[in-house]
Amino acid sequence: MRQESPIAPDEEGLTVSAVVRRRLGCPWSRARELCERGKVALDGEHALDPAARVRNGQALVIDEHMRKPRPPTAAKIVFEDEHVVVIDKPSGVASVPFDEKDRGTAMDSVRDTWRHENRRERALFVVHRIDKETSGLLAFALSRRAESGLKALFKEHALERTYLCAAHGRVSEGRIESMLAADRGDGLRGSTKRPGEGKNAVTHVRVVEALPRATLCEARLETGRTHQIRIHLSEAGHPLVGERVYIRDYRGTLIPSPRLLLHAATLGFVHPVTRARVRLSSPLPKDFEAGLKRLRTDILSGEEP
């Protein structure tokens, strides 16, 4: 069933559902259902609100086979089987909810995708997190067996994880190691030399591209402590571009950025159930690329990087 015709002058100001009901001669409930299921479009856009008002001349399409609109919170799933799902998380989305009322997290986005594709919802088990401000690859377990296996891999640091990041100034390649504590003494996470405090953290840094006032780096995690890359580069004198927390000790000029330029680019592991080798990669998202474009032409007159 497909009907396509413009809104008539005498339909100006009616609700979408009223026009659908008039065209099909169906009950109100059916007209509203068609709208809410994404089977009605106005001027090429899904008319999901049955109570929205129409205008004379708008192109109206009613099509039972019209594809449902992708929900705004849908996840980009890059790997999924019976035991593991990996998504490409955008910046600004929390990995997991902090309380029961939190919505719009990465976990919600996976469930929204399943619903959109009319697939069975399943339990999601958290095995690691990436910062809300960080984009890139994030894994969840779909079975208890996979959960215990993946948690063991993360605990043993037996995964391949590399990040791309842009840091202030001229970054030197090398290995950064310190003991990271939840409070370095001033209320911030950071490195400590106090005996018995902190957990060992190791980051390997490789220079990818020298920029006028910053450096694009690849950071490989040997361990996976909270905010490890952000802290290590900041304490080395090179806070990430877009950093808003670990900048207390930085004395240079901060480069403005609408997002933290940190991206989880690769994730590799031995599948905890099938034992197959899984290696995934994520290209830089458009907002990160836009930030890099600005950095490549960013020259502050009279100041050295």
Q: Is 59 in the same domain as 81?
A: no
Containing structural domain, residue 211: 76-296
Average pLDDT over the chain reads 92
Comparing C-alpha atoms, which of 41, 228, 27 is closest to residue 16? 41
Q: Is 26 in the same domain as 174?
A: no
Is residue 303, in this structure, part of any structural domain at all? no
Predicted confidence (pLDDT) per residue in 235-249, tens digit: 999 999 999 999 988
- Three-class SS of residue 200? strand
Compute the distance between CA of residue 278 and CA of residue 134 in angstroms, rounded to an integer.
22
Q: Is 85 in the same domain as 55?
A: no
Q: Is 117 in the same domain as 260?
A: yes
Is residue 69, in this structure, part of any structural domain at all? no
Q: Is 37 in the same domain as 172?
A: no
15: which DSSP letter? B
∠ CA 284-164-280, nearest 5°, is 65
Q: Is 195 in the same domain as 248?
A: yes
What are the distances in angstroms from CA 18 to CA 47, 53, 56, 299, 300? 13, 9, 14, 58, 59
Higher pLDDT, 70 or 305: 70
pLDDT band at 116 (very low <50, low <70, confident <90, very high): confident
- Is 183 an active-site residue? no
Point out the least confidently predicted range of 97-106, 197-206, 216-225.
Answer: 97-106
Residue 104, CA atoms < 13 Å, CB-side half-sphere: 6
Predicted confidence (pLDDT) per residue in 130-175, tens digit: 999 999 999 999 999 999 999 999 999 999 999 999 999 999 999 9
Backbone angles phi, psi at 107, to 5 degrees: -65, -40
Arithmetic mean of pLDDT, 3-11: 93
What are the strands, taking DSSP E only, across the chain? 2-6, 40-42, 45-46, 59-63, 76-80, 84-89, 125-126, 135-141, 160-168, 174-181, 190-191, 199-210, 214-221, 262-270, 277-281
Q: Is 121 in the same domain as 199?
A: yes
Is residue 71, in this structure, part of any structural domain at all? no
Is residue 68, in this structure, part of any structural domain at all? no
Is residue 187, in this structure, part of any structural domain at all? yes
Point out the least confidently predicted range of 9-18, 177-186, 267-276.
Answer: 177-186
Compute the distance between CA of residue 187 and CA of residue 108 in angstroms, rounded to an integer.
31
Q: Is 46 in the same domain as 147?
A: no
Higher pLDDT, 40 or 303: 40
Q: Look at strands 59-63 and 2-6 and give their pairing.
A: antiparallel
Whole-number pLDDT of residue 72? 62
- Three-class SS of residue 41? strand
Find the CATH number of the domain harbouring 163: 3.30.2350.10
| Cβ within 8 Å of residue 195, ≥6 positions away | none
Find the CATH number of the domain harbouring 49: 3.10.290.10
Predicted confidence (pLDDT) per residue in 35-90, tens digit: 888 899 999 888 888 999 999 999 999 998 887 776 666 789 999 999 999 999 99
Is residue 292, in this structure, part of any structural domain at all? yes
Number of domains composing the chain: 2
The active-site residue out of 88, 108, 112, 131 is 131
Tokens 């100041």 belong to residue: 303
Q: Is 40 in the same domain as 138?
A: no
Is residue 304, in this structure, part of any structural domain at all? no
Q: Is 90 in the same domain as 52?
A: no
Q: Is 35 in the same domain as 175?
A: no
Which residue among 14, 39, 63 closes a domain?
Answer: 63
What pTM was computed for the model? 0.77
Is residue 174, in this structure, part of any structural domain at all? yes
Whole-number pLDDT of residue 71? 63
Q: Is 26 in the same domain as 159?
A: no
